[in-house]
Structure 1
Amino acid sequence: MSDLLVKVEQGLLRGAVVKSVVGESYIAFKGVPYAAPPVGKLRFKDPEPLQPWTGIRDALEEGPKCAQFNLFTKSIIGDDDCLYLNLATPSLTGSRPVMVWIHGGLFSYGDGGSDIYSPDYLMKTDIVHVGINYRLGILGFLQLEHEAASGNMGLKDQIAALKWLKENIAQFGGDPNNITLFGQSAGAVSAQYLLLSPLAKGLFHKAIMQSGVLSVPWAYVSEPLKMAHRYVAAFGKDITDQNEIVEYLRTIPAHKLIEMQTKISTPEETINLVLPFGPTVDNKSMRPLMPKPIEELAQKGIDVPVIIGYTAHEGAIFFSRDFQPKYAKLDKNFEASALRPLTAKAPSKAAVILQEIRKFYFDGKPVTKYPAANYARYIGDLQFIRGVHRMVDIQREKKSPTYLYRFAYDSPRSVTKIMYNVDEKDVIGFGVSHAEENPFLFYPSMYREHVKMEPGSPDQMVSDRLIRLWTNFAKTGNPTPLIDDLITTVWKPVTKATKNYLEINEELFTGEDLDEEMCETWKRIEMVSNTSSERFHPGRS
């Protein structure tokens, strides 16, 4: 390890050359602050500019994670002071494409560090990689519909990081005029928020959205003030004045705030991904990120090149061992609970909706938690896949290219299933769950004992292909500019006439009209339920 110094706007940073797990070295700057610590009076406030420092600041260790319940360790970790990024580059000279990773985690957990997202594999290519932390849960998304706490602080943290990179990335060998956002799940939803927000205009140029778009049901919180009042009441406080709520919550340690956050959701809300805190319309903010209804902004579509897609069986992740007790509590009313997102706004049409769901997913039989594969398919389509297709249909009307994919490689050594404690006997033969592409992009150092890609193995080939596609897109806006032994086919964007897609498996396959039967089924359901056809109807202004 050898030291390297870089001068940024705020002062000098010390980084180091580190050896990659794939044998190559790269330069890393870890725990780099990009905004003022949001502590004390700055808790629940928009991010403030970072103040200069004197002397040399070490950037050799990752900074603290944002306060959260850690799914992997089953403990509450992190703190308010967490607005740091981790940067990796092949060289401090030159001008390379920059890829900025926004982690997922339902806006409630995760970080941009190396436990799950070490950039070793990506550093085989000539790009600069950045992983960012942003405030989560109540600390990042408390929304009181008042300037005292106007919401979306976590998304504004992401914008603050992009502004810092725009000013400083050239010092790390990055091109400030060629920045690509990429994210998975909530990270992908975040990317689309930034694509549509006036506050992020000009800060990046392309986006890759893995298993997340604004038209998924959990992309925003519809009644934030009601949830905030429920949360405060759980502390035994009868407070409704917004300023008093903020002052009270600032007196509580971050870990206590997160502990209460884990307790206020019902099992039904948890299963249906009804978030206690998440993105909202923030038109009471002095600087709104989403000044208009989210569905209205989403209708405008995206005007930069994008890759959008999902895994073949997103819902398999819901069969983690952690979820089993929650399913058990709903046995007596499981069918009603499972369909609540569809029937809540159309209770008089519940019977018709139920008939469509039973027919397509359950062979006309009652909805139960067994067989698990049927329910996993339903919940994955409901929470992820149908939303992706609605957004892609909007994009078919746009001039900027949109590339649709499905990741379908089912590794026999799935690191993701180990990470998320998925009960494989319940999903046997069901395939590729939510987040399963991530370990092919990133080295998950926390699970190093489970990760070993043999040269020439299917796992290694899939990883090489996925990284080549993603980095080609970051460099040129085209994921397949050159066909060779690794990239064996041209990936065409969708058009008005043809819904092209790429299937990423042991080999690459192209096709049209991906999951067409499922899409048609959901169009019928949405016409009956009116839960989303009005909000996300392609072509409607």
Structure 2
Amino acid sequence: MNPALHDIVHALEWIQSEIHVFGGNKNKITVMGHSGGAAITDYLSISSYAQKLFHQSVMMSRSGGNVVNIVPDRNQGASRRLANRVGCTSMGLKDEGWDNVETVEGILSCLRNKSALELSAQQPLGEPEGLFFGGPALDYGEYALLPSIYPVLDKQRRNMPVLTGTVSKEWWDSRDTVINALEVDQNKLRYWCNRSIKTRGYNASESTVLMCMNEYNTTSKSIYLWDDISIYVPEIELANSIAAQSDAVYLYQFEYEDFGDAYFAGVGLPQPPKEAFPGHAYELIYLIGQHLGNFTAKDYQIKYLYSQIFVDFINHGTPATKNRKWDRYNPKDKNYFVIDFPDPTLESPGMKNDYHKEAYEFWHKIVPNYAGERHIPLSEEDSKTIINGIKELEDPELQKYESYTTVIPEVNSPYMKNVNWELMFWIAVGLAILLTIALCCIFVFAQRKRRTYETL
């Protein structure tokens, strides 16, 4: 069970026994992950067996924070289908023969003789049937890593410093809802509301879907719909849970947008449009050099300033320094540190309150009033019901959209975030005054010329 997690735990055990050889401190181990890696870091943090092997953690843009629970039969259906399709068994998914240990051992022996290419080629073919290879499973025994469901393990975290946060634009998967500056595509908005409600584990009744559509029926909000339920709301849930059990949780949001040519998508791949920055993982160019493009002198300064946040946390258990005021997260205030690098000082704005509060209030208070109790799956069959419910929404015509949609910005949209509207207003007023003066001058000149002709 959970071989990947056991590999990581084995690595942590090795670090515990050998880190002193490299000058390290076995009592000051930090586990750090981004996206799926952040989800793995979270699993390690709720495992009573694994959490004793490290002392603080960093979780960046954690994915998978919704109803995908830890269940005992995780990946069972997908594994059985795979064995059948590559010729290692003729049994169906629910055949009683799967309960025979000798039969299963024979199937496993057959699978070990198959190439990685043959096995991996079958994986996407089962996904339309709702047979995914998902996350870790609930396990048992002396070396069990995840012996209970997530809501139970989530309340058994170790008291340790945690640094966690997101970028300000993440996925933008629901960007296809935007038609122009003021208009939202109602069909696509319905799709994303329906999908989001089901992904959160609620009943997608017509009244709930309409209520969601009303909430997100502006371009500045609809573009963030999927980000809200897949990243931002789960991030607050994570921070709240950790804060209830830890003395030191630090939340941030990376908001720097002016990447220029510093980010390189890859050979033959289209560059993201300027308005999409900072998207999911884009900020890693300043931390680990992923998708590294052409750095300017400013980019090198940002690289130092940004990476120093993590260096300080790893060394001291807090990102706060004498020159960087960073308060611990308080669930009541939802306070977080804004990471940005404005000219000329490159000094981040610092602490703010109400991290994605509006989205959190909507999905935590308003939606449950309409949709009722949230369903937490206790088996893969439950998860399959949710997944198939989402897959039923897949309308090929509805989902035909380009990788990046060209959007005409509205005043309140993220595209126009840095426009100085007060300055623009006074410029417009000034132009109007100049135009009025010009018209008056023309009128006076015309009147004088007319009088000249009248005196002839």
Counterpart position of 1:433: 279
- Residues 343-380 of structure 1, C-alpha deviation per residue, up to 9 Å, x if partnerless? 37554x421331233123233xxxxxxx7x86652222
Counterpart CA distance in 2 for 1:380 and 1:421 is 23
Match of 1:227 among 78, 93, 98: 78
Deviation at 1:207, TM superposition (A): 0.3
Q: Report if the CA contact (8 A) 1:311-1:434 is conserved.
A: yes
Counterpart position of 1:520: 361
- Compared with structure 1, are the counterparts of its residues 390 and 260 closer, same or farther at alpha carbon in structure 2 (3 Å cutoff)? same
Counterpart position of 2:238: 391
Counterpart position of 1:191: 41
Counterpart CA distance in 2 for 1:418 and 1:532 is 41
Q: For residue 121 of structure 2, give the secondary structure of its aligned residue in structure 1.
A: helix
More helix by share: 2
Which of these two proteins has the greater Rg computed from alpha carbons? 2
Matched letter for residue 272 of structure 2: E
Counterpart CA distance in 1 for 2:277 and 2:136 is 31
Deviation at 1:435, TM superposition (A): 1.1
More strand by share: 1
Residue 210 (structure 2) pairs with residue 355 (structure 1):
yes
Residue 335 (structure 2) pairs with residue 500 (structure 1):
yes
- Residues 88-128 of structure 1, C-alpha deviation per residue, up to 9 Å, x if partnerless? xxxxxxxxxxxxxxxxxxxxxxxxxxxxxxxxxxxxxxxxx
Residue 305 (structure 2) pairs with residue 454 (structure 1):
no
Q: For residue 188 of structure 1, give the secondary structure of its aligned residue in structure 2.
A: helix
Q: CA RMSD in A?
A: 3.4
Deviation at 1:217, TM superposition (A): 4.4
Counterpart CA distance in 1 for 2:61 and 2:116 is 30
Match of 1:409 among 229, 248, 256: 256
Counterpart CA distance in 2 for 1:474 and 1:226 is 41
- Compared with structure 1, are the counterparts of its residues 275 and 184 closer, same or farther at alpha carbon in structure 2 (3 Å cutoff)? farther
Residue 182 (structure 2) pairs with residue 182 (structure 1):
no
Deviation at 1:413, TM superposition (A): 2.8
Counterpart CA distance in 1 for 2:214 and 2:123 is 37
Counterpart position of 1:295: 151
Counterpart CA distance in 2 for 1:394 and 1:338 is 26
Match of 1:255 among 104, 107, 117: 117
Counterpart position of 1:480: 320
- Residues 444-463 of structure 1, C-alpha deviation per residue, up to 9 Å, x if partnerless? 3xx55x2x3222x1x33332
Counterpart CA distance in 2 for 1:480 and 1:397 is 20
Q: Report if the CA contact (8 A) 1:315-1:381 is conserved.
A: no
Counterpart position of 1:46: none
Counterpart position of 1:65: none
Counterpart CA distance in 2 for 1:420 and 1:234 is 34
* Higher RCO by CA contacts (8 Å cutoff, separation 6 or greater): 2
Q: For residue 493 of structure 1, give the secondary structure of its aligned residue in structure 2.
A: coil
- Compared with structure 1, are the counterparts of its residues 333 and 362 closer, same or farther at alpha carbon in structure 2 (3 Å cutoff)? closer
- Compared with structure 1, are the counterparts of its residues 350 and 317 closer, same or farther at alpha carbon in structure 2 (3 Å cutoff)? closer
Deviation at 1:443, TM superposition (A): 2.1
- Compared with structure 1, are the counterparts of its residues 166 and 199 closer, same or farther at alpha carbon in structure 2 (3 Å cutoff)? same
- Compared with structure 1, are the counterparts of its residues 346 and 520 closer, same or farther at alpha carbon in structure 2 (3 Å cutoff)? closer
Counterpart position of 1:400: 247
Q: Report if the CA contact (8 A) 1:212-1:388 is conserved.
A: yes
Q: Report if the CA contact (8 A) 1:319-1:422 is conserved.
A: no
Larger deviation, residues 524-533 vs 245-254:
524-533
Q: For residue 460 of structure 1, give the secondary structure of its aligned residue in structure 2.
A: helix
Q: Report if the CA contact (8 A) 2:30-2:58 is conserved.
A: yes
- Compared with structure 1, are the counterparts of its residues 496 and 315 closer, same or farther at alpha carbon in structure 2 (3 Å cutoff)? closer
Deviation at 1:416, TM superposition (A): 6.4
Q: Report if the CA contact (8 A) 2:138-2:148 is conserved.
A: yes
Counterpart CA distance in 2 for 1:339 and 1:417 is 31
- Residues 424-474 of structure 1, C-alpha deviation per residue, up to 9 Å, x if partnerless? 35xx62432111221110123xx55x2x3222x1x3333222211101010
Q: For residue 439 of structure 1, give the secondary structure of its aligned residue in structure 2.
A: helix
Counterpart position of 1:308: 164
Counterpart position of 2:22: 172
Deviation at 1:287, TM superposition (A): 2.4
Percent of residue pairs bearing the same amino acid type: 21
Q: Report if the CA contact (8 A) 2:192-2:225 is conserved.
A: no
Counterpart CA distance in 2 for 1:416 and 1:218 is 33
Q: Report if the CA contact (8 A) 1:303-1:398 is conserved.
A: yes
Residue 304 (structure 2) pairs with residue 464 (structure 1):
yes
- How many correspondences in the alignment? 347
